[in-house]
Structure 1
Amino acid sequence: MDPELLERFQEEVLTQCDYIALHYANAGIAFDRKQVAALWSSLEPMISAGANVAKLLWGPGGRLADERAPLRETLDVADDSPLHEVTFRNHFEHIDNRIDRWWTESTLPRAILDMNVMPEAMLQRWQKVSIFRNYDPQTGNVYFWSDAFAIHELASAAADLAVKARAALSVDLQQPPNSVTYARTFTGGDVRISDLLNGEHQLSGFTFDSCRLIGPAVLITVEGGYYQDNEITDEMLWQIEREKSYLGSVGLVNCTIVRCSFVNVGWAKPPPGE
């Protein structure tokens, strides 16, 4: 593969992986807020972005697997990667066909189980052709008909691939935040918050999964955000007043921080009742 063409494919793989991370974070926020429509409006494009990665790595339907082998080699992607799965995306891509099949194959009285959040065990009494969109929060699986898709595995694989794509592209973490190739998804390892600020006083749209975030810094949620399973102790919490500004603080705008630990980092805590 021509080196310039290879680089363009690597860039697009990174772009789609960032889309996956963004939709995954939004899905988590929607789930926590019990916003079902918002949940599915994030899960569907997340799965579609995963299918786009598969097309980049193996070609449509896997028909360009040999031609794209150099791309997979530079990114260390195996054929058994969760990113290779495209079948589930087809349910959303061909929703008209799914409705037609439901109409012709379901038995009376017809019903559709769609856009739900419930354990997979509750689906057993339904005809498979009547099960459209269901998310099981216990397993992290999405179901359509008799097919299941592991959302968390897709997010993890995409985050890992994004790291490899950035390395292959030699992305400089010191580039300004508005750079197209700027790294905004970090999985594992140490991350120094000061390295990401570039003269700014906030982090916007970043995802940190299983990282150790290193200060000194006091983090303040400015807008949005999804935080779960982090190692935060009472000693790290700073009481603040909303109407005041705090010199040296780092604002978080629509960031995702999950399964992280912290060194010399405090978290701003709003007054009781907010």
Structure 2
Amino acid sequence: MAMTELDRDFIMLSFALTECRRALDNLEEVDQLASVRVRPQPGVEVRENLRIFDRIRLGLQMAANVSRLFWPPRNSARGAHLRSLTGLPTTHGLSDRTLRNHIEHLDERLDQWTATSPRPFLSIEHVLHADYPDIGQKRDEVIGATAIVYDAKSQSVQLFGDMFHLPKLRGDIEDVLQKTSQAMSAIV
């Protein structure tokens, strides 16, 4: 088969493999970045925040792309066909639309989050580093006053009150990656 004559299944599965790999790579970097400490001078420590959320957002976006491919809101025939090729079940960790809806409709979530205005405002995104002291009720206040929180200790992301555990998400993505790889081997 010429490189310009690839069939639809091959293209869709290739896209899924690429998005899975990109999601996993970005989510893996979250843990690495959360452990970075820079001490520019004695008594001053700088921690990552922005780059952690860059990786979280990219990882979640790529995971949402995979979810849409196999469990689409429309074109259910495509999703069913791709799931049949890969052996993915109708119900899967990536089939839950809660996470992908937060990602796809971030503007609407911010509308809802700011509807009770004025509200306490700490930041839009905040990292709770694993070695931060447990501040009890203050911790809950920080979480409540922040739209998106990454908790390095539990390796979870809270988006507008919903908690997503990154190890589980990685496992779900790895499952799709493995089954998609097997399907690609069968059609090549």
Listed as ranges, the matches of 1:58-137 within 5 Å are 58-59=71-72, 61=73, 63-107=74-118, 110-118=120-128, 124-125=140-141, 128=144, 130-137=145-152
In structure 2, the partner of 1:145 is: 160
Q: Matches of 1:141 and 1:73 in 2, distance apart?
A: 31
Q: How many residues align?
A: 166
Deviation at 1:112, TM superposition (A): 4.1
Q: 3-state DSSP class of the match of 2:147?
A: coil
In structure 1, the partner of 2:54 is: 41
Deviation at 1:113, TM superposition (A): 4.0
* From 20, 32, 46, the counterpart of 1:29: 32
Q: Which structure would you say has the larger RCO, counting Cα contacts within 8 Å and 6 or more residues apart?
A: 2
Any stretches of 5+ residues in structure 2 without a counterpart? 1-5, 37-46
Q: Which has the higher strand share?
A: 1
- Contact in 1 for aligned 2:60/2:100 (Cα 8 Å): yes
Q: Matches of 2:102 and 2:113 in 1, distance apart?
A: 12
Deviation at 1:123, TM superposition (A): 5.0
In structure 2, the partner of 1:19 is: 22
Q: Which has the higher helix share?
A: 2
- Contact in 2 for aligned 1:51/1:85 (Cα 8 Å): no
Q: Matches of 1:127 and 1:157 in 2, distance apart?
A: 26
Alignment RMSD (CA, Å): 2.9
What TM-score results when the alignment is normalised by the length of structure 1? 0.53
- Contact in 2 for aligned 1:114/1:132 (Cα 8 Å): yes
Percent sequence identity over matched residues? Answer: 21
In structure 2, the partner of 1:265 is: none
Listed as ranges, the matches of 1:1-274 within 5 Å are 4-33=7-36, 34-59=47-72, 61=73, 63-107=74-118, 110-118=120-128, 124-125=140-141, 128=144, 130-170=145-185
What TM-score results when the alignment is normalised by the length of structure 2? 0.74
Q: Which has the larger radius of gyration?
A: 1
Deviation at 1:126, TM superposition (A): 6.0
Q: Matches of 1:162 and 1:91 in 2, distance apart?
A: 23
Q: 3-state DSSP class of the match of 2:7?
A: helix
Deviation at 1:85, TM superposition (A): 3.1
Amino acid at match of 2:164: F
- Contact in 1 for aligned 2:88/2:179 (Cα 8 Å): no
